[in-house]
Amino acid sequence: MKVKIGLEVHLYVKLENNKTKLFCSCPINYKEAETNTNICPRCTGMPGNKPMLPNKEAFEKAIEVALILNCGIPKGPILFQRKHYDWPDLPNGFQKTISGTYSVPVGYEGKYNNVRISYMHLEEDPAKWDPITGYVDYNRSGIPLIEIVTEPDLIDSEETRTWVRNLMTALSYVNSIDKDLGIKADVNVNIENHPRVEIKNVNSLANIKKAIEYEVLRQQKALLSGKNLVQETRTYDDKQNITIHMRYKEQAQDYMFIPEPDLPSIQVTKDQLEKIKKIVPESPESKRERFVNKYKLKKEDAETLSSNLKLAEIFEDIIKESEINVTAKLLVRDLLSVLNYDKLEIENVNLNLENLKYLSKMLSENKITENTSKKILIELVKKDFSVKDYIKKHDLEIKSDKSELETICKQVIKENPKAIEDYKKGEEKALNFLVGMVMKKTKGTANPDIVNNLIKKLL
Amino acid sequence: MIQEKLRLLQSGKLTAEQNIKSFIDKIKKQDKNINSFIEVNKNAVQEAKELDKKKKKGRLFGLAIAVKSNICVKGLLTSCGSKTLSNFYSPYDADVIKKIKQEDGIIIGMMNMDEFAAGSTGESSFYGPTKNPVALDRVPGGSSSGSAASVAADFCDLSLGSDTGGSIRTPASHCGLVGIKPSYGRVSRYGLIDLSMSLDQIGVFSKDVYGSALLLNIIAGRSENDPITFDNEVEDYHIEIDKVSSDLTIGISKNFNDLCQDKRILELINKKIDEFSKKYKYQKKEVDLEYVKLAVQTYYPLVYVEFFSSTRKFDGRKYGFKIEENCGEEVLRRILGGKEISKAEHKGRYYRQALATKNLIKNDFDNAFKKVDFIISPVVPKLPNKTTKKITDPKEMYAYDAFTIPSNLAGNCASVINIGRIENVPVGLQVICPSFKESLMFNVLHKFEMLK
């Protein structure tokens, strides 16, 4: 039984300059603010209220998202629609959205990681309603939301989770989404040729996966026992890990969409679009492919490097002067594991690019060992210092001067008669021990190959 | 009259307190017969006293302004003439109210009106019908019935109304006043409770042209609170009122005249136009407004759908009364009708077609205004009904607005001035000008005023 999965992902827009709601000047920090303090006649739906022009920054961020997802941007006017439904969280009785029967979305017909994007658009968030107490907090009412709607191109829970995670990577590239405010997804699941079930408001990557797993099983079981499936809307209960029937699915006509008469249409101008195109970076998808094709990186390394825009940019900057493979190893294996260990994120660490460049260069030229490099990284993510000075000060450059190393080797041989005996009996391990002793004496800066050969020769 | 009153107030010969007090006394004595007020502002006299202490006096200093009950005034009952909002004391001022207060105008009270502005007679208010002070056996016209009646009865100096399909012009005609529906986008509607958002405009009533010109000059202009307002310069309508304009061409349309049921109204209007064109040596020209005949059919789908949408917030959760369970017949008809059209609208058949026809009517006017400077027409097709006669057929009621609706659809500015009486009932004449030509409109109105 072939499963088809489509998503409607809602994300909060990350605003930097104009941190206000979509149609009024109330602040958007609803989590910190005391209940019902970020409000005005507009976002509480007072009689006589009119929206202000939509937050321009939010609109431009939506275009950035559209572009990174390879969506088309309409050349004609974009008009907000009223989507009517009767619910305590909706103060005006309708939601202003760019979706709906006759709407022109912000972005249309995109594609990301082999999943087609039907459209993406901007809308206002409803208020927060507590069904148990009946209290409504309007702080959230009117906060700009981006909705991304996909075609049902996903086939299972794991693929869906991975896709959403990669989607978040793409969105982090344009810095348009406030991840701290969370993600809300409506997940459409159906078995081919059977009615579609919508699971509302699934709110994490893990829950998306679990909800799909449960729902697929539920539908398969129902079909196997000869039952008919119906088109319906369900909700995911993460405590019990089940989906529960909410209502039979609305038809679009039940929302009675009309174009918002209180707002003029919006036109994306050519200049505006050009300006935004300039700041939208290459998508992680094409970056990954380019890294594989151009730099012959392993697919996994390309994936890791492109999963973070800063990391990818650092990589491409360093390899101008250093070896590609050495650099990839330095970043993917060493830097990320050091960061991981300290639970740090690359965005939040004060990393001086010159230091990383220097490290990579020294590694590429075989002047320091990987071990040295890793030790330096551990210090470097804690505080910034000059790697060049540090190496000099602690005398960490690989010692390849044979006469100097020979003296040390001779000393080690002299100090370890037992090991020499063992080696002569044919125990390879003893050789490693001796090399290790030399490394210890040189604080790990000796070139291990040279030491190895030297000891063999001396014995 | 207003100019004279302002001179007295500005010079201190009349204090704001005296002005307001005399109105309040009169309202107390006489409004029980007219029922033009839903709420008198209890603080009005106190506010006037405070104003009298001020050194610098605003441009509306001490004038009593009556406000239609669908325009939010902080702390006053903004009921829309409906039980639905009979608890709603607005927590904020509409943009127009802020501007009036800034110029030291005093809000004297909240006026009676057809429930949610959905009517043309002034009879459908939850607070009872408004009487016509100048023709007591006739309806005052609506929906801004109280705003018109209060000016006509001298309960205030000026008043605010709203006009979606004639709600200012019809009562202005029936009460013998000047009534102005500004161009769509001229006045901010932030704080105006919706009837039909693509048509609603706030406008003014006065006894003389100067009063309306002054008040409109103050409330007009772009506001970020209402994104459909325009940046066009707000001219000094009241100062330029008698600017001499020569070589104007008057437009007359038989498309209007054919719809006029009471031919005595047409005769009176034609007589006035002749006088007018002779005195000012203006040319007359016939213009073709072919699609005006579709105005009423175009208007109602728009109003129904937009009204349905805008009343969804009156779900009973916040203001105590769910609109469908507490409103009158006409309001309910529009909500239920709007809901059905909206549902069927999924196929794009009604609302969007009405929007398209709206454009045809606008084009008609645009073409006409290439040939003429302004258009003159009747305001209503017949004399106002006797209060004893109830219109029960909605079609008959809707046809009443056939001359006023086209300007709302076209978005241009239109106005009414009294030109005489028939059967002792006031009759007005409508002057329609292109969008944002309010200045010209006030010139023309003033010239009619000078004919008397």
How far A83 CA lies from chain B's nearest CA (Å)? 9
Contact B85 A47 (CB under 8 A): yes
User: B88 in a domain, yes or no?
Assistant: yes
The answer to whether A43 and A22 are in contact (CB under 8 A) is no
Chain B residue whose CA is closest to A43 = B313
Q: pLDDT tens, B406-424? A: 999 999 999 999 999 999 9
Q: pLDDT tens, A174-205? A: 888 888 778 899 999 999 999 999 999 899 99
Q: pLDDT tens, A72-112? A: 999 999 999 999 999 999 999 999 999 887 788 899 999 99
Pick from B228, B227, B206: which is nearest to B218 by CA? B206
Residue B386: CB atoms within 10 A of its CB come to 12
User: B257 in a domain, yes or no?
Assistant: yes
Q: Which of B36, B69, B79, B167 is catalytic?
A: B167
The answer to whether A24 and A51 are in contact (CB under 8 A) is yes
Contact A46 B92 (CB under 8 A): yes
User: B298 in a domain, yes or no?
Assistant: no
Does pLDDT of A420 surpass 90?
no
User: B142 in a domain, yes or no?
Assistant: yes
Distance of alpha carbon B412 from alpha carbon A356, whole angstroms: 68
What does the DSSP 8-state code read for residue A20? B
Confirm or reject contact between B324 and chain A (CB < 8 A).
Answer: no
Q: What is the pLDDT of residue A250?
A: 66
Question: Which residue has 């307001």 as its token pair?
Answer: B20
**Contact residues, chain B, for A263 at CB < 8 Å:** 227-228
Does pLDDT of B245 surpass 90?
no
Domain with residue B148: its CATH number is 3.90.1300.10
Domain that holds residue B134: 1-288+375-452
The answer to whether B168 and B401 are in contact (CB under 8 A) is no
- Give the bridge partners for A245, in sequence order: A234
How far A91 CA lies from chain B's nearest CA (Å)? 6
Looking at the structure of chain B, the number of domains it has is: 1
The band of A252, judged by pLDDT with boundaries at 50, 70 and 90, is low
Of residues A182 and B327, more confidently modeled: B327
The answer to whether B319 and A46 are in contact (CB under 8 A) is no
N-term to C-term CA, chain B: 15
User: B32 in a domain, yes or no?
Assistant: yes
Q: What is the pLDDT of residue A50?
A: 98
B167 labelled catalytic: yes
Tell me the domains of chain A and their CATH numbers: 3-277 (no CATH), 282-393 (no CATH), 402-458 (1.10.10.410)
The band of B285, judged by pLDDT with boundaries at 50, 70 and 90, is very high
Q: What is the pTM of this model?
A: 0.88
Three-state DSSP string of A32-81: CCCCCCCCCCCCCCCCCCCCCCCCHHHHHHHHHHHHHCCCECCCCCECCE
The answer to whether B156 and B108 are in contact (CB under 8 A) is yes
**Contact residues, chain A, for B196 at CB < 8 Å:** 261
Written as one string, the DSSP assignment of A254-308 is GG--EE-TTS--B---HHHHHHHHHHSPPPHHHHHHHHHHHH---HHHHHHHHTS
Contact B71 A52 (CB under 8 A): no
The ipTM, to two decimals, is 0.93
**Contact residues, chain B, for A92 at CB < 8 Å:** 312-313
Does pLDDT of A402 surpass 80?
no
Give the CA radius of gyration of chain B.
20
Contact A263 B191 (CB under 8 A): no
The residue-averaged pLDDT of A150-172 equals: 92
A441-445, B166-170, B351-355: range with lowest mean pLDDT: A441-445
Give percent of chain A above pLDDT 90. 52
Beta strand extents in A91-171 (DSSP E only): 94-97, 107-112, 115-124, 128-129, 136-137, 144-150
The answer to whether B80 and B105 are in contact (CB under 8 A) is no
Q: What is the pLDDT of residue B49?
A: 98
Does pLDDT of A369 surpass 90?
no
Does pLDDT of B124 surpass 80?
yes
The answer to whether B144 and B171 are in contact (CB under 8 A) is yes
Contact A48 B190 (CB under 8 A): yes
Q: pLDDT tens, B69-83? A: 999 999 999 999 999
Give the CA radius of gyration of chain A.
30
Q: B 55-94 residues with CB below 8 A of A? A: 70-72, 78, 80, 85, 88, 90-92, 94
Q: A 253-312 residues with CB below 8 A of B? A: 253-254, 256-258, 261-264
